[in-house]
Each structure stands twice: as structure tokens, then as C-alpha cells.
Structure 1
């Protein structure tokens, strides 16, 4: 299999990747044969339904999708959340969760900064954006989504709720479409009215990390111990790893070990079980603070000195700052964005950091995901021009098959619900994140085979996907 390092450049160059998905069919897939394919070398972000103005202020490598318009909007108030001069969207996080205060608040920090800047530039074709915030507090997502429905917001945009499976029956019932920062459950990820800047479908997963880790730790990957929280958000992530990683040489010493989602008072029993299973590596599904740090500290105290592989939600300043004892020095994470440490060579990363920190917010990978999803929604909304409707925005997003969030991340296909096939492997050393592979700054490794096909997992089965990969779990079909 060939690999390549692909440089993220600021100049606009059209992408060479050809995609075939269109209309309502989200079932098309990319060629699975290994090949080297460029990611974004500029925006190349959209296959727009209509032309988008490219002059004016930019975010990253493309123009902001916000403008004053010409004052000729025709909205009559019949569309939820929309008038001629205003549009109301909803979003939120789990910041009120007592077990991890501030959980995912970075998605809201990003949304507030982006909305403010978009409004400064004129809004969505002259419509000023009102952003309604809903705190799901980790387990109160049903109350949050019901409030959003009652408020008749136009879209959910950039939200991040861990228990998003609990919202779906209510959300679908009130017809509220979403462009979330991230999805967890298969039913939400495959809903017909949900699009993401960085898709996370249940039947596919970005698999580059599995090969990258196998090259760094060829022996350790043969005996991996899985550790996940006892709730759907982490279980579905674990199931994807167990399903796909063996295609890249991984083996598992244990796959069923679960910790209490509300926290553990003693992590030593988990360390002992992993040691007894003979694991030479740990694959972790959860959050960094406090759970992973406490587990890693217990592992260090009990002589379990193995790599810990996890996801990009562990790329936060709080996580890095907490690693003063070095317990997390062997934490490796998969990454599909240009990291903050390389903002000096990637305009979109710098623009994100400047915008959010300039408004007093905190930054994290999840904040960049929210930014990409907001820009996707704004682009599709701006294309609707004088008449802004949910149907128009959804149709425009279905037509977008090449998207990098204006240069924030590797290329994805939101319209057909395909994740990136390019990856970066990062690790934490002390209180700093550093690049492991590829070693050249501002680059990704890419391969068509790195979109791993997932089959037969409990979450995927429960989602009841139809021939177009749309979940029918809550549709009554």
C-alpha cells in the first residue's frame, strides 16, 4: 500500500477526487483500492448548488459565507426561526455535567465566536443570527432537544451532546434538522436531515490510525485491551475499533471491559484486569479528564507501561496541562485536522484560534469540528439567497461532496456521509502535543483503504439503515 504526505496550502486549487453520490442517495462509496489522493490544497470545499460570492473577508482559504445581501429577502415568517432580517439557530454542549464540569464547552465557544463574526459581516444574506444555547448536562438531552423544538429554531448547528441517541425521537418528531459538531449514535449520524463537516457514520470509520499505530508498535498491536465507558457513546466507538482494526493487524486480548460512565473511585482493578489479559496496548474510549488521567496514573503506579490509543477529543489544553506527572506520555490519538501547533503554516487553523481566543473562548479539536459544521451550514444557507428554508439548506448540503472546513481538516464528503481517508497520528509528551506521523508539518497521510467498512455492530444494526444509508429507527418505517 502506498502512502503520501499531502501539504495543506492556502491557494485555491480544485480537488481531483471524483465523487458520485448525489441527490438523496447517501449510499455511494469511494474506490476502496489503495491509492494516493490529494486532500484539500485550498478550499475545494463545495460542489455548490448555486454560485457563492468569493470576494471579501476570508476564513482560512475561502470567503466567509456571510454577507449583508441586497435587502430583497422574501421570507414571510412561515419557516420556523426565519424572518426577512433574522434567523434563529440552536446549539449546545454537556458543560453542566457534574462529573466533568465544562464538558465539550469548546463547541459552544466556537459557535458564539463564529456567529458574532458572521453577524458582523452581515449575517446570512442580511439575516442576523440568534444563537440559542441548550445545556444537555450529559444525560438531560431530552429536555434540551424538547426546548429547542419548543423554541422553533431553524436548525441545530454545531451542538455536541454525548447522549444524542436519546434526542432522536423528539428531534425527528418536531422536524428539526441538524449540522452538529459531532455525532455519537448511529441513528443520529445516519438521519436524513443531519449533515456534518466531518461525518461520523456508523458503517464507516477513519481507519488510518490503525495502520499508523501498527507501524509504530508492530508487536504491541497484537494484544490490545479495550476499555470503554458503560454507555452508548463509548460503546459504539469501541465496537468500530474492534470491527475494523483487525484489518490492519490488530488483535485483542480483551474487548468487554467497561468502566462506570459516572466515574470510578479506584482504577486499579481495571489495570489488573488488563494486565491479567496480557495486553500490550490499551485502546481507550471516553474522555481525558478525569477518567483517562486517573486510569493512566493507576497504570503507572502498578507497572502497566503500554501505549494508550484514543480519539481526537483528547486534544485539549486542559488534558495537556494536567499531564505534569507524565502519566499520559504514552497517549496517542488519531487526528484529521491540522493541529494548533502548526497554525503558523495553515491559515484556517490560525483564523479559528484568533477568532475564538479573541472572543474569550477556549479552543479544542471539538471546537474546530463545530467551526467546520457552522461554515457548512452557513455556506448552504447563504446559497438559498432571498428565501431561506430548511428544504433549500438540506438540498444544498446534499450537493456538497468535497469539504475541508475552509482548510481546517482533511477532505470529507458531507453530502454522501463519508469520513476522511487521511490521517495524522499525534501524541502527548509532558504538557505538549506532538506529531508522530507523518513527520512533516502541515501534512496528512492518505489512502482510499483508510475508510474502514463497519459491519454487524449493535449500534449499526439498531439504526436500521435503508438502501440509502438513512436510519429508519425512529421513522416508523
Structure 2
């Protein structure tokens, strides 16, 4: 139960609306995280006294009288949380760095208001470098209260460790099926295996009703992309598409030449191509090959195709002027229309960080975590956090994204579509910038054969469950 609190000290940030706080957090070496290049983010508590909001969300941060060493990583004065990304991955330096930039900024923003009920948030910033996710998890298990706003591409390698040590998590994103529906996991923007937001395919059908029989999907050799692609096929079918089967499978590590694969799409008559892969150098080489064989299909993908590096590449080539990417988040270009996006941008820029879509995802999850932690008050335990997080059934991060149901691990039933021209993204659908289109049919129950894991009656992955897993209590 939330105790009576003294009036909250809050920062004078009411005028702006950006997600990730920019009050500079001190960073130093953390003995518990040295092998992964982790650092600690802290901030001095400022003494300011105006109402603070994050977009439409009342700030969950502020002064208070919470006391007690109630759980690992919690004391009278501090709450230790871990976060991080894969920025040290040698093949893609800085990978997902925007996620840590967002959480660092929000920690500072929160601490400037007094922390959570008066306890300062102390963050350990981990670098999983793609292949070190389990090492990061082992270190976090030894010292942190929770993991918050993180995103590790190889999260499947760390999930057994996380569940075994009862590390409750509020990730910015998950990748593997067992993590997406893992026990003790809640996300600001859920991506479960058994339900999907299919808005991008339904909206593509509205934008190009004449092409329902002319799209195909690029297959991959990577297991997680295979799972994602299989799910996409079922979503496309639900939206009325009859996908071609051009027989194109690309090696995740790259091909010596992509021209033969582009020729296959040309011979097949594909006028639209979906990829479940992000815009890696190899994928951009594939885009070049489409131009080389003389075809210009709609190139269609996840929200990961919305980003500064892609816009920069297209400025020089123009080969993605036919790009569409579906999103449940607001575009950064809509900051002048959406206060939460403006707040995110302002705060991260203040701290010299990188703004990007994954940063907004991390920010939403941090705010979700802080909202539940605020409700726990002095009784800040992992059990209380699981209880409180499981109750949150309507969440939009203060306006950063379409409403989701984190407590039940259900995605949004809204979306928008972006397009790219030169180096400029714009909202293609619906036509009014800053608006989503919502429809119950966008929620698609996926075929069980695409899940990649077994779920129990509560839709929780059974793979690593044990008798000590923390479950919600009424």
C-alpha cells in the first residue's frame, strides 16, 4: 500500500514535453559491471517546486518519506536499477545506444524531482555487445533491484538466468519468444508471441488495395527472424493479402551478391517486399540489387526502418523513396504536435544523447516502471512491483505511443504508417500528422505454430518457469 507522503518536490519542467530526462547524470565505474563496460548514472536531487508532467502523464517522481532496505538494491536512500543496450557490438558500433541515452536522461529527470518517493534512482548502464547478454544478466542478478528500459538483441541467452534469479524486468524491447512472454516481464509496448498489432498490413491494404496479390516476404536464416517472418505471414493473410512465394531466403551474415535474389523477385512479379530484418548494411545492399535488376517495389518493414541512418543513406541514393514502415509510436517529426515527444527530444538533447524510436520505447518502459514504483512507496519489493505492473491496463507513455495493456502483455490496436522521400520522413497514413488510426481488427491472434515457445494458461512462457517465480497477488 502506498504510504502517506510529504508533498513531492518536482522540477520546473511543465512547459516542455520530452521523454528522456537530460539533467546530466554522473557516470563512473561500477565494480559489479566492469567486464561489460557498465557505468553508473546518478544525479543530484534538485530542489524545484512546480508541477512536472511527461506529456499527459503526471510525473511518478518526487520527494517523499519512503524508508527501508526492502529488497536487493533498495535502501532508505537509493533504488538500484540496471539498463543497457548492445552499443559495443563490433559489427555495428553504437547499436541501440539511444536506449541507454533515454534511460540515463529519465533517471536524471526523476532524481531532479526527488527520486521515487525520496529514494534516488541509481542506474547501472550495461553494454551487452550483442553476445554478452548472459554475462550482463549474471552481474545484474547480483546487485540490481530490477532491469528497466533495456534491450538486448540476444536476450534468449540471458532469459534462463533472469528467471532463475527472479529479476523482474520492464524492458524497452524483447526479441526471443521466451523473453517476450517471459515471467515477471512487463513492457511499455508489449510484443507477445500470441497476439500482434497488424495495423501496418491493414493500412497497407487500404493504401494499395490493388496490390493484395503482389507482395512477398524476404526469408532469413536467423532463427528469430524466421519466427518473426512466419508471424508476419499470418498477419498479412488476416489483412487480406495473398502473399507470393518467390523463394528468396537471405543469409543473415550476408551474401556475396544479392543480384540473383533480386532477379527472383523480378521474375516472380513482386510489387511489394516485406522484410523482418533491420536496415543493416547487408539489407541495404539487397535494396541496391533491386535497383540493379530494374525493379522498384514498395519496400515495407517494421518500425526499425524509421531512423536517421536510413534517411541519410537514402539522401545519397534515393533507393528507398518507396519505403513504408508501420509504427505504434509517434514520429519524432511530430514533436511540435505531441507534447510527450517534445519532452523526450528536449531532455535527451540536453544531455547530448541520441534520439530515436528505440529511445522512446526505453523511455516508455522507464515511466511505466517509475509509475508502479511510486505506488509501492516504502513497500518497494519485487513482489509489489509485479502486483502493481500487472494492474496497468491502459498505457501510452504520456502520449509517446498508441495505448497498450502492459499488465496483460497485449499490444495496441492502433498504428500509423511512415514514408521516406530523400532524407525526410513523413506520416503517410492516416494523413493527419500526429494521429493514429485504431481498429479492433488490428489485433491479430497469431498461429500457435509461429510462437516459438509454449505458453501456460496465463500466456506465460513455460520454458524456464520454476516454483519461485514471482506472480501477481491480489
Partner residue of 1:420? 412
Q: 1:341 to 1:175 in 2, by over 3 A?
A: same
For residues 266 and 126 of structure 2, the distance between their equivalents in structure 1, rounded to whole angstroms, comes to 42
* 1:99 shift after superposition: 2.0
| Residue deviations 1:380-415 (CA, integer Å, cap 9, x gap) | 001111121111111111111101101111111111
Counterpart contact for 1:185–1:232, Cα < 8 Å: no
For residues 149 and 261 of structure 2, the distance between their equivalents in structure 1, rounded to whole angstroms, comes to 35
* 1:279 shift after superposition: 2.0
Extract unaligned runs of 5+ from structure 1.
1-9, 11-53
For residues 219 and 152 of structure 2, the distance between their equivalents in structure 1, rounded to whole angstroms, comes to 18
For residues 118 and 371 of structure 2, the distance between their equivalents in structure 1, rounded to whole angstroms, comes to 14
* 1:55 shift after superposition: 7.6
Residues 348-357 or 87-96, more deviating: 87-96
Q: 1:256 to 1:189 in 2, by over 3 A?
A: farther
| Residue deviations 1:286-340 (CA, integer Å, cap 9, x gap) | 1113233221112112212100110112211121111121111111111111211
SS at match of 1:443: coil
Partner residue of 1:233? 224
For residues 347 and 320 of structure 1, the distance between their equivalents in structure 2, rounded to whole angstroms, comes to 24
- Name which of 449, 463, 471 aligns with 1:473: 463
Partner residue of 1:74? 67
Partner residue of 1:158? 149
Counterpart contact for 1:285–1:311, Cα < 8 Å: yes
SS at match of 2:228: helix
Alignment of 1:47-58 (within 5 A): 56-58=51-53
Counterpart contact for 2:163–2:183, Cα < 8 Å: no
Counterpart contact for 2:246–2:264, Cα < 8 Å: no
Partner residue of 2:351? 359
Counterpart contact for 1:100–1:290, Cα < 8 Å: no
Extract unaligned runs of 5+ from structure 2.
1-14, 16-48, 468-474
For residues 444 and 330 of structure 1, the distance between their equivalents in structure 2, rounded to whole angstroms, comes to 21
1:122 and 2:114 correspond:
yes
For residues 444 and 344 of structure 1, the distance between their equivalents in structure 2, rounded to whole angstroms, comes to 16
SS at match of 2:244: strand
Q: 1:162 to 1:82 in 2, by over 3 A?
A: same
* 1:225 shift after superposition: 2.2
Partner residue of 1:298? 289
Partner residue of 1:452? 444
Q: 1:257 to 1:127 in 2, by over 3 A?
A: farther
For residues 269 and 158 of structure 1, the distance between their equivalents in structure 2, rounded to whole angstroms, comes to 41
Counterpart contact for 1:221–1:280, Cα < 8 Å: no
Residues 163-172 or 222-231, more deviating: 222-231
* 1:255 shift after superposition: 7.5
For residues 216 and 130 of structure 2, the distance between their equivalents in structure 1, rounded to whole angstroms, comes to 26
Counterpart contact for 1:180–1:196, Cα < 8 Å: yes
Bigger RCO (CA 8 Å, 6+ sep):
1
For residues 292 and 311 of structure 2, the distance between their equivalents in structure 1, rounded to whole angstroms, comes to 20
Counterpart contact for 2:178–2:463, Cα < 8 Å: yes
- Name which of 318, 332, 338 aligns with 2:309: 318
Alignment of 1:173-184 (within 5 A): 173-184=164-175
For residues 137 and 259 of structure 1, the distance between their equivalents in structure 2, rounded to whole angstroms, comes to 24
Partner residue of 1:245? 236
Counterpart contact for 1:158–1:370, Cα < 8 Å: yes
Counterpart contact for 1:207–1:451, Cα < 8 Å: yes
Partner residue of 1:441? 433
* 1:285 shift after superposition: 1.1
Alignment of 1:368-379 (within 5 A): 368-379=360-371
Partner residue of 1:59? 54
For residues 322 and 64 of structure 1, the distance between their equivalents in structure 2, rounded to whole angstroms, comes to 38
Counterpart contact for 1:228–1:286, Cα < 8 Å: no
Partner residue of 1:21? none
Counterpart contact for 2:186–2:407, Cα < 8 Å: yes
* 1:278 shift after superposition: 3.1
Counterpart contact for 2:415–2:438, Cα < 8 Å: yes
For residues 400 and 203 of structure 2, the distance between their equivalents in structure 1, rounded to whole angstroms, comes to 21
* 1:94 shift after superposition: 1.4
